[in-house]
Amino acid sequence: MAEATLQSQTRADEAFDCLQTAIVTGELGPGEKIGELELCSRFNLTRGPLREALGRLESRGLLVRRPHAGVKVVSVSASELLELYRIREVMEGLAARQAAERMTDEEISELQATLDSHEAMIEEAQGQAYYQAEGDYDFHHRIATGSRNAKLAQMLLGDLYYMVRMYRYRLSTSAGRPHLALGEHRRIVEAIAHRDGELAEFLMKRHINAARQNIEKKIEEGVLTI
């Protein structure tokens, strides 16, 4: 059962965190219809703050709400998931370009360290897709932040990633190509370290495009059903 790890400032924030993690981890599955009272007892909340959190989550597209009829977790179809990757392609391309122009040298060092630890994870824990996915998330997270574009980071971290992660827990995006993905990450960081924004953008777009094609292939093979 998901709980707010760090005591949030307000009950509504707590509710928001609880629900968001519950949705992302799959504790609340896509398409699942959920009642307010059930959520209240489950997360020890009252309906006021809960409803506020529901409103925020609806506005972010993680829930769909029909007046007087209840609320259910959004269920993204296969084609919609692929469309999400088209958006990521252009937005993260921009993020990579701006990160190359604006990241501090220290941030770049940390980014390289992130990749080192990611590589270690792949070596020792060969099959643990979960940690690979987390490493991947960390990498993209740092670049989004490094873009120094507040709205861009907000849209990526606050909207897109949560929707992608919702499925990553089931399908582990880069599964089957961890070494490939790592190599692509390394080349992106190289471009950023050389302050070559244009190249960083190009490589990031190609990286995400490859991830998208990987998912598309698996769907065609029927390996993963969404």
Partner DNA sequence: GCCCTCTATATTGTCAACAATATCGGACTT
Partner DNA sequence: AAGTCCGATATTGTTGACAATATAGAGGGC
Q: How far is the CB of 55 from a second copy (least distance, A)?
A: 4
Geometric angle at alpha carbon 178, from 180 and 128, rounded to 5°: 175
Are 196 and 189 contacting, i.e. CB atoms less than 8 angstroms apart? no
DSSP string covering 47-74, please? Answer: HHHHHHHHHHHHHTTSEEEETTTEEEE-
Considering the rule CB under 8 A, would residue 198 count as an interface residue with a second copy? no
Backbone dihedral angles phi then psi of residue 180, each to the nearest 5 degrees: -60, -50
Which of 34-42, 112-120, 174-182, 196-204 is the region at the interface with DNA (rule: CB under 7 A)? 34-42
Q: How far is the CB of 97 from a second copy (least distance, A)?
A: 9
Closest CA to 226 of 39, 129, 83: 83
Residue with tokens 């997360």: 43
Q: Name the token pair of 119.
A: 């590589």
Residue selected from 35, 61, 127, 158 as contacting DNA according to rule CB under 7 A: 35
End-to-end CA distance of the chain: 24
Judged by beta carbon, residue 63 or residue 164, the one nearer DNA is 63
Per-residue interface string for the shown chain with a second copy, residues 10-49, x marking contact by CB under 8 A: x-x-----------------------------------x-
Tokens read off for 148: 């120094």
Residue 7 main-chain phi, psi, to 5 deg? -55, 115
* Residue 130 Cα distances to 85, 181, 216, angstroms: 20, 15, 20
Q: Please select the residue that binds a second copy; options are 3, 36, 83, 198, rule is CB under 8 A.
A: 83
Regarding 65 and contact with DNA (CB under 7 A), the answer is yes
Tell me the three state secondary structure of residue 103: coil
Residue 35 contact, options DNA, a second copy, none, Cβ 5-8 Å cut-off depending on partner type: DNA
Q: Does 154 bind a second copy (CB under 8 A)?
A: yes
The answer to whether 10 contacts DNA (rule: CB under 7 A) is yes
Asked if 151 touches a second copy (CB under 8 A), the answer is: yes
Q: Looking at beta carbons only, is 108 or 163 nearer to a second copy?
A: 163
Considering only 25, 31, 37, 198, the residue that binds DNA (CB under 7 A) is 37
How many Å separate Cα 171 from the centre of its chain? 13
**Site for a second copy, rule CB under 8 A:** 9-10, 12, 48, 51-53, 55-56, 58-61, 67, 80, 83-84, 86-87, 89-91, 93-94, 98, 149-152, 154-155, 158-160, 163
**Site for DNA, rule CB under 7 A:** 10-12, 34-37, 45-49, 51-52, 65-71
